[in-house]
Chain A
Amino acid sequence: MAYSDKVIDHYQNPKNVGTLDKSKKNVGTGLVGAPECGDVMRLQIEVDEAGVISDAKFKTFGCGSAIASSSLATEWLKGKSVDQALAIDNMEIVEELNLPPVKIHCSVLAEDAIKAAINDYRQKNGLEQIKFEESVVH
């Protein structure tokens, strides 16, 4: 299976690899996936006082498509409000990266990671957890 140029580019030059200080109140961390399944994503957001995501970082254990999906997600998150971030749909990632059907679960994982990070941020700041439908793809 050949990878799209965009996947290859994110794999070779991943954006925003790293770790934010998860003890900070304005940092939300989402850890999704499982080692047994061959992919684990950790996505973190830092939210400023205006409710805008000022920084986003990821680390991913997984295939090239998983790495690219999380790298792209962090790019998209920066500068968005938390509410805007919630609207990111996995199919947008699929389209942007030209993911084949067998790799759609990578984009779902990225969407799950965004939502998990937002919920962690909300919980830390005394906000109610948002309930999401369970992802069904993987």
Chain B
Amino acid sequence: MLKLPVYLDNNATTPCDPRVVEAMLPYFTEQFGNAASRNHPFGWQAEEGVDYAREQVAKLIGADPKEIIFTSGATEADNLGIKGVFEMYASKGNHIITATTEHKAVLDTCKHIEKVGGEVTYLTVKADGLIDLKELEAAIKPNTILISIMYGNNEIGVIQPIREISALAKKNGVLFFTDATQAVGKIPVDVIKDGIDLMAFSAHKMYGPKGVGALYVRRKNPRVKVTAQMDGGGHERAMRSGTLNVPGIVGFGKACELAFLEMDEEARRLSKLRDKLETELLKIEEAYVNGNREHRLPHVANISFKHVEGEGLLMGFNKNIALSSGSACTSASLEPSYVLKALGLGDDLAHSSLRFGLGRFTTEEQIDYTIEQISTTVLKLREMSPLWEMYKEGIDLNSIEWAAH
């Protein structure tokens, strides 16, 4: 049976899995202690809950529990990882390499670093969204201390060549940080096999609660240190002060355990549904997939429908289908998606894109419904699109002098 509304914005956030909520509940009421209270059972219980969660989280990414630093989310972990390395390794150098398609939490952190005397290289990406490894290698300099490249992109789902990047970093004695917020819990991420030195990720993208995330900080080969960005009680091995969000952390742990157990099957199911969605929507004339289709997260698709504006398109069904668009109108800024523009998409195509993020609770009926709704709306809006009419008349839209505004 079709369940409405359909939620296809799982890259923005995921619902909590009921099993996660269940695991968290006792930690709000009975086991409410402060995990740092060492003198009574309330504290011990909370600490036990945190320790167990730390093991669950570490297991999912092939890490040692001691290498997990709990934070308030991926944004904080990005800040701590990048700024923390920049400050800790100041004597070694001040140059960081990242890419233009990174999440704002990384890009704006790098902008901050430039303001405080750091040097940042922003690699451009190829038309399919992947970075060029040769360009990366060429960008490494004697004063380079960190490479920050995301695992899977939040808008187009493209998975970067993580192992090749980490090998380059290692070869040049540079640390490798990755924002893996969209990848952890969706595809196998193994910090040892992938050669990752620092990694940010978050609970609420993998059916855990909001407000909790982690920074993985490698302890061996090499031992990595970061300078704390918040002063206080010295929690989390003095890297992140602040009373631990015990219920959140317990939920995060449970979410990681579930992902560990169910990820493979879930990825298979979702990629099948995603492929169906994509195949059907590409039957619409002038519809294009953005980003590399092979190296891609299994639950993500980003499609442009030429000559139809994204927000206008969403309005056709946004009561029943929750989706996000790369169009400017949907956000506070007036610029269309910088990620799509970084792929070399014209502003017009960037304005015409929809981002699909399937999830654990997405059903095939919902995908069928989505295909039908979108197809109908695209056709309807093209009937009222002057650009579509011109395109059909064979007019080159680039030949028109548009009134700049």
- Residues of A bordering B, CB below 8 Å: 3, 8, 11, 14, 17, 19, 31-42, 58-64, 66-67, 102, 105, 109, 112, 135, 138
A64 to B336, CA, bound (A): 17
- Residues of B bordering A, CB below 8 Å: 307-312, 315-316, 327-329, 332, 334, 336, 346-348, 351, 383-389, 397, 400, 402-405
A41 to B386, CA, bound (A): 7
**Nearest CB in chain B to that of A67: its residue:** B312
Q: Please, which residues of chain B bring their CB within 8 A of the CB of A64? A: 311-312, 315
Most B CB contacts (10 A, CB to CB) among A38, A40, A41, A58 go to: A38
Pick the residue among B315, B346, B351, B384 that contacts A60 (CB under 8 A): B384
Closest CB-CB distance, B220 to chain A, in whole Å? Answer: 49
Pick the residue among B385, B402, B405 that contacts A138 (CB under 8 A): B405
The secondary-structure label for the interface of chain A is: mixed
Q: Are A35 and B384 touching (Cβ within 8 A)?
A: no
A67 to B402, CA, bound (A): 19
Q: Are A36 and B348 touching (Cβ within 8 A)?
A: yes
- Compute the total of residue contacts between A and B using a CB distance below 8 Å: 89
Pick the residue among B309, B400, B404 that contacts A38 (CB under 8 A): B309
Q: Are A33 and B403 touching (Cβ within 8 A)?
A: yes
Q: Are A35 and B387 touching (Cβ within 8 A)?
A: yes
Q: Please, which residues of chain B bring their CB within 8 A of the CB of A32? A: 403, 405
**Nearest CB in chain A to that of B389: its residue:** A59
Q: Are B402 and A40 touching (Cβ within 8 A)?
A: yes
A112 to B400, CA, bound (A): 17
Closest CB-CB distance, B255 to chain A, in whole Å? Answer: 31
Closest CB-CB distance, A70 to chain B, in whole Å? Answer: 9
Q: Which 4 A-B pairs have the closest CB atoms?
A: A34-B402, A36-B347, A35-B348, A42-B386
Q: Please, which residues of chain B bring their CB within 8 A of the CB of A112? A: 403
Q: Please, which residues of chain B bring their CB within 8 A of the CB of A36? A: 346-348, 351, 402
A26 to B405, CA, bound (A): 28
Q: Please, which residues of chain B bring their CB within 8 A of the CB of A135? A: 405
Q: Please, which residues of chain A bring their CB within 8 A of the CB of B403? A: 32-34, 112
Q: Are A63 and B383 touching (Cβ within 8 A)?
A: no
Q: Please, which residues of chain A bring their CB within 8 A of the CB of B387? A: 35, 40, 61
Q: Please, which residues of chain B bring their CB within 8 A of the CB of A61? A: 307-309, 312, 385-388
Q: Are B386 and A66 touching (Cβ within 8 A)?
A: no
A4 to B359, CA, bound (A): 31
- Could you list 17 examples of A-B contacts with CB < 8 Å? A11-B316, A31-B386, A35-B346, A35-B348, A35-B351, A35-B397, A35-B402, A36-B348, A36-B402, A38-B311, A38-B327, A40-B386, A59-B384, A59-B386, A60-B385, A63-B327, A105-B405
Closest CB-CB distance, B214 to chain A, in whole Å? Answer: 33
